[in-house]
Amino acid sequence: MTIALEPLLATARTWLAQDPDPATRDELEAAIDAAADGSGPEAQELAARFSGRLAFGTAGLRAELGYGPLRMNRVVVTQAAAGLARFLIDTGRQRSVVIGYDGRVKSDVFARDSAEVMRGLGLDVTLLPSALPTPVLAFAVRHLGVGAGVMVTASHNPPRDNGYKVYLGGEDDGSQIVPPVDGSIADSIDAVAAGSITQLVRATDYTVASSSLVDAYVSATAATVPAPALAPEAQPKVVYTAMHGVGWETARAVFEAAGFAVPTTVPEQIEPDGAFPTVSFPNPEEPGAMDLSIARGVAVGADLVIANDPDADRLALAIPSTSDTGEPTFRRLSGNEVGWLLGWRAAARAAAAGVTGTLAASIVSSPALARVAARHGLEYRDTLTGFKWVSRVPGLLFGYEEALGYLVDPQVVRDKDGISAALSLLDLATELAASGSSIAGQLDAFAAEFGAFASGQVATRVDDLSRIGEIMAALRATPPSSLGGVDVLATTDYLDGVEGFPPSDILRYDLTGDARVIVRPSGTEPKVKVYIDTVAASSAEAQSLVDALAAAVRPLVS
């Protein structure tokens, strides 16, 4: 790559002049000095860092920490905060915002920068009192009746990442942003970025919320379940991990308020720690991420192991099992399995109460929930991936996506909530225990009632983002006629437009025997993801078909 060195260095120095963070200033100064002769890899790296801007989209912002417009840093966050504030002002929305943050590196700094800049632009600003779960922020948007909410978090991303998630109040009712609003906010951010953040007025007279706001979330969430069917000492024994995140204190308060026993914790992972020292990737879905919690579950003879991701908007569940060598261990349930169970619970309770409404799941989640809805006389809706879509379904009773996200009470939070979902699972497990059953037994009952469903995934991580487009283009140019010896009955390209969906980069293959394969680029990571769903007479048969389809599709996305 040929580099126009002087313009590059001028751009980098302009950025440096407005950067208030000593750490990224030092990093950028060293990069400028090293790149000054233009002959080494340092110049290439500097050019790459200033080759564009971090795009603001429906997931807000999310990237690795570092200097420059393509990383998360105080300049980028300040520009985003000012742009969001101007969007609220220019569109006549409520000039008020609540800001939350998790325990990641720089989250508190980014939150305070946002509060100062937005207050300086005249907004009424409330900052949450400490590092708290994302669901508390989502709750606060509606509870306080503000125009917008900001959560500084990268959720389950790698340790060096951080992010900026935006919710809207008013007619959006506390849901995350969707198009075309994201584009309008991005335009406002770009307008701010055309100048220097040193010209922005800052103010520190914003409001810091009291603990009563957290108490309100705790009370509202605890009220989503009835009184436990068993006394605390007779309830299933539970191990809980926060995965170095911010979930524990709030989750414990919710469990206690609802009348459930306090779980045994994983001490190495219970306190917030942005370095995530015991996991390479703080996502309960990743191999090895739950090893410590499972070991703890075995050691104490637990009935359940539950894990929140670092900002506690996701939930993973594991139940007792036996290893190939006959040793006790735990099996982590898939997001679909948890979704089936919680959706069935929600549908049965709605039917018992004579309540009508809709169950919903993202398009890449299992089709099992549609059968549950039909059996209970409820509506069902598929949505695009992401809770920004699930939460907006009219008449929603319950929604989920296979990536460990569950919305169990839309009246409390209009987003996935790993704490309320954990509470619902504790309620279900206790109810089952009182009747002599268990979560494993309920999975068997589900298969007997609705069919034996199975699901799986194939994911290809890329270093060059252009490879994602190449993979999707190749599949469109030469669509498969069969996969794993199973005929493809229909191919649906969501780029062509499908009723109820905006044009989207999704390919769906419907196969003989109600099997289904969906391919799409990830919305948050440099990956192509494949989602496989089957249903058969037995769980073993359904899983065997998943394995065969995974083997067939893997070469197509490599």
- Token pair in block for residue 350: 């709605």
Q: Tell how strand 304-308 and strand 315-322 pair up.
A: antiparallel
Distance of CA 287 to the CA centre of its chain: 18
**Dist. CA 102–CA 210, nearest whole Å:** 17
SS3 of 490, please?
A: strand
Q: Are the CB atoms for 128 and 137 separated by under 8 Å?
A: yes
Comparing CA positions, the residue from 382, 357, 356 lying closest to residue 369 is 382
Per the annotation, the verdict on 155 as an active-site residue is: yes
DSSP string covering 220-259, please? Answer: HHHTTS-S-SS-GGGSPPEEEE-TTSS-HHHHHHHHHHHT
Provide the 10 A C-beta neighbour count for residue 435: 9
DSSP state of 412: T
Nearest to 152 by CA among 62, 89, 213: 62
Residue 81's Cβ-side half-sphere holds a number of Cα atoms within 13 Å equal to 36
Burial of 1 (0-12, 13-18, 19+ CB in 10 A): exposed
Q: Which residue has the tokens 């989750």?
A: 251
> What residue type is 346 in one-letter code?
A
Asked if omega into 158 is within 30° of 0 (cis), the reply is: no
CA separation for the pair 306, 421 (Å, rounded) = 10
Task: Please list, residue by residue across 376-396, b when 16 or more beta carbons sit within 10 angstroms of its beta carbon and e when fewer do.
Answer: bebbbbbbbbbbbbbbbbeeb
* 77 token code pair: 């966050």
Residue 294: its H or E element: helix 291-300
Across the beta sheet with 486-493, the strand order is 452-461, 527-536, 515-521, 507-511, 486-493, 482-483
**Residues with Cβ within 8 Å of residue 32, at least 6 apart in sequence:** 9, 12, 13, 16, 46
155, 293, 334, 391: the catalytic one is 155
User: Is the alpha carbon torsion for 47, 51, 54, 58 positive or negative?
Assistant: negative
Catalytic residue numbers, as ranges: 155
